[in-house]
Amino acid sequence: MSKPIGVRIDERQEDVWKTFKDFVEEKYGKKHTVLGNELIKALQIYLELNTKSERSNIDKIETQFVTQRAGDLEIKSIKENSYDILNTLMAVKGYIDNLEYTYFDKGEPIPLKERDQINKIKQRLSHAQKLLQERIESIG
């Protein structure tokens, strides 16, 4: 059973609250019944991050994300999420490479404008892959 709580927000921070509410509404298509759950998840992340940073060296923090599955809260480490993101990123890179070869299989050259766009996407994906790999290594 839930119970209503109230807090006061400084006028200068009101945009943050509005942005959060809009985000929740866009994600779920509603605010009723989900806004409180999303707020609790955000607070859990905040508390986890801050209580761990006070106890240990900030470089050794394994930040945890909260995800929701079947109505239960599950804590996943940032390292685990980073591997998931890295795998997805590598799959996208493979898809783009395959797309490029598929285009050539049709015997048609890729137009110059599209080729430039594909190369920019590849560069950004490579940069993101490098950042993620460094992040995973720093977590240990």
In this structure, are 86 and 133 located in the same domain? yes
- Gap between the Cα atoms of 53 and 74, Å rounded: 21
Asked whether residue 4 is domain-assigned, the answer is: no
What's the token pair of residue 87? 């795998």
Identify the band that residue 71 occupies on the pLDDT scale cut at 50, 70 and 90.
Answer: low
- Gap between the Cα atoms of 10 and 68, Å rounded: 30
pLDDT in tens, 18-30: 999 998 899 889 8
Enter the pTM of the model: 0.42
Mean pLDDT lowest among 28-37, 50-59, 74-83 = 50-59
Residue pair 92/128 in contact by the 8 Å Cβ criterion = no
Give residue 58's pLDDT. 45
Of residues 63, 68, 26, 32, the one with CA closest to residue 47: 63
Average pLDDT value over all residues in the chain: 75
Domain finish residue from 69, 93, 117: 69
Identify the band that residue 52 occupies on the pLDDT scale cut at 50, 70 and 90.
Answer: low
Asked whether residue 75 is domain-assigned, the answer is: no
> Across-strand partners of 66?
75
- Gap between the Cα atoms of 103 and 88, Å rounded: 22
> Across-strand partners of 73?
68
Indicate the residue type of 134: E
- Other beta carbons within 10 angstroms of residue 99's beta carbon come to 11
Asked whether residue 45 is domain-assigned, the answer is: yes
In this structure, are 60 and 87 located in the same domain? no
In this structure, are 87 and 135 located in the same domain? yes
Distances (CA, A) of 96 to 82, 105, 116: 21, 14, 13
In this structure, are 61 and 110 located in the same domain? no
Asked whether residue 2 is domain-assigned, the answer is: no
Asked whether residue 131 is domain-assigned, the answer is: yes
Give residue 87's pLDDT. 83
Identify the band that residue 57 occupies on the pLDDT scale cut at 50, 70 and 90.
Answer: very low
Identify the band that residue 72 occupies on the pLDDT scale cut at 50, 70 and 90.
Answer: low
Overall number of domains in the chain: 2
Angle between helices 14-28 and 35-55 (to 10 degrees): 120
Give residue 53's pLDDT. 47
Asked whether residue 3 is domain-assigned, the answer is: no
Residue range(s) defining the domain that contains residue 129: 80-139
